[in-house]
Structure 1
Amino acid sequence: MPLATTRRAGLVDQVIDQLRTAVTQGEWPIGERIPTEVELGEQLGVGRNTIREAVRALAHTGILEVRQGDGTYVRATSEVSGAIRRLCGDELREVLQVRRTLEVEGARLAAAERTDEDVAELRALLARRDVELQEGRWPDFARTDAEFHCAVVRSSHNGLLTELYRGLTEVITASVAATSSITPGAGHMPEIGHEGLADAIADRDADRAAAEACGFLDELLSRIETA
C-alpha cells in the first residue's frame, strides 16, 4: 500500500486521513489487523506517538479496534458504520428493523431513479448469488447477497441513504453466524429469492419494489422471533 511521507505540520491529522483512506479503499478489509506502530511509523516517516494518537482517534470513531496484546483491527469502513456498530452491537433484530426502514425507501427510490446499468448490476449479482447457493458456497453467497442489497439502495442515487445503509450492512455481515442460525436445521444463510425485487425496480414500479423489500425483511424478522 503506497503511503506518502507526511509533512511536519498537522502530522496526526495527516496520519488519520491516510489510515482512514487505506480502510475506505479496501487496502485493509474489515476484520484484518493493520500494520504495527513501528511499521506504520517507518512508512509514514513519523514517530510512534503520532501513530498511536492517530490510531486512538480512529478507534474512538469506531473505524479501528485496539486489542491489547494482539494488535489493531479494522472494525468499520467509516465513522457512520462505526457509530452504528457501537449503537447496535450484536442485536440483530434491532439492526434488521432499522435496515428495513432504509431498504424499503431505498427500493422505492431505486424504482424511480435506477439506470439501465443499475438493473444490469442487480441481475448479475442475482445470477452469481444463485450459483453460489447451488454450489453451497455459503460465505460467498452471504457476501453477494449483501452486495445485491447495497446495489438496490445505491440505485436510489441518494448518497446519504446509501452510506447509512452500508453501515448497517457491515453490522449484518459481522452477524452472519447469527443470521445463518435462524433457519432451523440449516447450516447456512436462509434462501429467500430477490427476483421479484429486481423485476419491480426494472419495471419502475415503486410500490411493488417497496413491498418486495419489506416482505423479505419481514420474513427474516419472523424467523428470528420464532427461532
Structure 2
Amino acid sequence: MNSVSSLGPLRPSPLVEQAAGHLRARITEGHWPVGTKLPGETTLARELGVGRSTVREAVRTLATLGLLRSRQGAGVFVIADHAAQEWPVRLRRAAVTDVYEVRMLVEVEAARLAARRRTDEDLTALSEALDARRAAGAGPDAGFVDADIALHRAVVAAAHNPVLTDLFGEFAPALRQALIDLVELLGLRRENPHHGEAGHRALVAAVVAGDAESAARAARTELEATLARLRAA
C-alpha cells in the first residue's frame, strides 16, 4: 500500500506565504524603498529558493495589501512600505454607527436576493432561527442578541452570495457587544422581552413569500430603527 499517495499533493500556500513574508520584510525594512523596481521573477526565485510561480503569487499577495503594483511592460514597483489596514482591523477601529450603516446596505440587498433565491433548506433554517429568537426572549440580553444575529445570518445565507456572507461574518462580531450594550442601556426588553419580533416576522414572511421588495423594505425598516437608537445612545 502506497501511504504517500493517499495524502494527496502538497499545498503550495505555505511557500507563498513565506515568500511574501520575506519580500514584505525587505520592503518594510527599507531594502526596497517606495518607487523601487523589484528584481525580476527569476532573480527573486533564485534568491528565495522557490519557483517562479511562487514568486508570482507572493507578489500578487503584496499587491493586494497595497505594497506593490505591476506595470505592464515595466515590471513590479514598490508603492508603499506599510500594508493598508486589513478589513477586520478597520472594523474594530470604526465607529459602531459606521459599521452598522454598512451592515444595513449589505442586509437590505441580502434580503432582496434571499426572497428570490431561498431554497427549502433555507426556509427551514429561517423558521428555526425565528423560533430560536423568540425562545431567547426568556433569557439574558446576550443570548437574545446572539439569536437575533443568527436570524439575520440565516437571511444572508439564503441570498447564496458568498461575498455577502463573508462580509456579514466580518462585521457581525464587531457589532455584537455594542448591540448587547444598547439593549441593556435603553432597556429595550423590559416591557417586551421579544423586542422587534413583529419586524423580524415580517422579514421572514416576505422571504418565504418570495417578495423581494417587501423583504428589502422589512430589513431596512428594522435596521434603520436600531441605527437610530445607536446614534441617539
Distance 2:130 2:195 in 1: 12
Q: Does 1:200 align with 2:203?
A: no
**TM-score by structure 2 length?**
0.58
Q: Which runs of 4+ in 1 moved over 6 A?
A: 187-190
Contact 1:179 1:189 survives alignment (8 Å) = no
The two structures have a TM-score, normalised by structure 1, of 0.59
Q: Residue 137 of structure 1 aligns with which residue?
A: 140
Q: 1:191 to 1:155 in 2, by over 3 A?
A: same
State the match for 2:78 in structure 1: none
Aligned match of 1:128 in 120, 132, 136?
132
Equivalence for 2:155? 152
Q: Secondary structure at the match of 1:111?
A: helix
The equivalences for 1:1-227 within 5 A come to: 10=14, 13=17, 83-89=87-93, 91-133=95-137, 135-181=138-184, 183-184=186-187, 191-193=195-197, 194-227=200-233
2:186 partner SS: coil
- Report if aligned partners of 2:141, 2:183 keep a CA contact under 8 Å in 1: no
Q: What secondary structure does 2:107 align onto?
A: helix
* Unmatched 5+ stretches in structure 2: 1-9, 19-64, 66-85
How many residue pairs were aligned? Answer: 154
Q: Match for 2:216: what amino acid?
A: A
* Partner SS, residue 175 of structure 1: helix
1:104-134 C-alpha deviation (Å, 9 max, x unpaired): 000000000000110111111111111110x
Q: Give the superposition deviation at 1:173.
A: 1.8
Q: Is the 8 A contact 1:111 1:206 kept in 2?
A: yes
Q: Aligned residue for 2:36?
A: none
Contact persistence 1:111–1:202 (CA under 8 A): yes
In 1, are the aligned partners of 2:88 and 2:170 still within 8 Å (CA)? yes
C-alpha deviation, 1:166, in angstroms: 1.4
Deviation at 1:195, TM superposition (A): 0.4
Runs (5+) with no aligned partner, structure 1? 1-6, 15-60, 62-81
Residue identity matched to 1:160: V
The RMSD of aligned alpha carbons is 3.0
For residues 125 and 162 of structure 1, the distance between their equivalents in structure 2, rounded to whole angstroms, comes to: 16
Q: 1:183–1:190: 8 Å Cα contact kept in structure 2?
A: no
Deviation of residue 158 (structure 1)?
A: 0.4
Aligned twin of 2:81? none
- Checking the alignment, whether the CA contact within 8 Å between 2:91 and 2:99 is kept in structure 1 is no
User: Does the 8 A contact of 2:115 with 2:208 survive in 1?
Assistant: yes
Larger radius of gyration: 2
Kept in 2: contact 1:102–1:161 (CA 8 A): yes
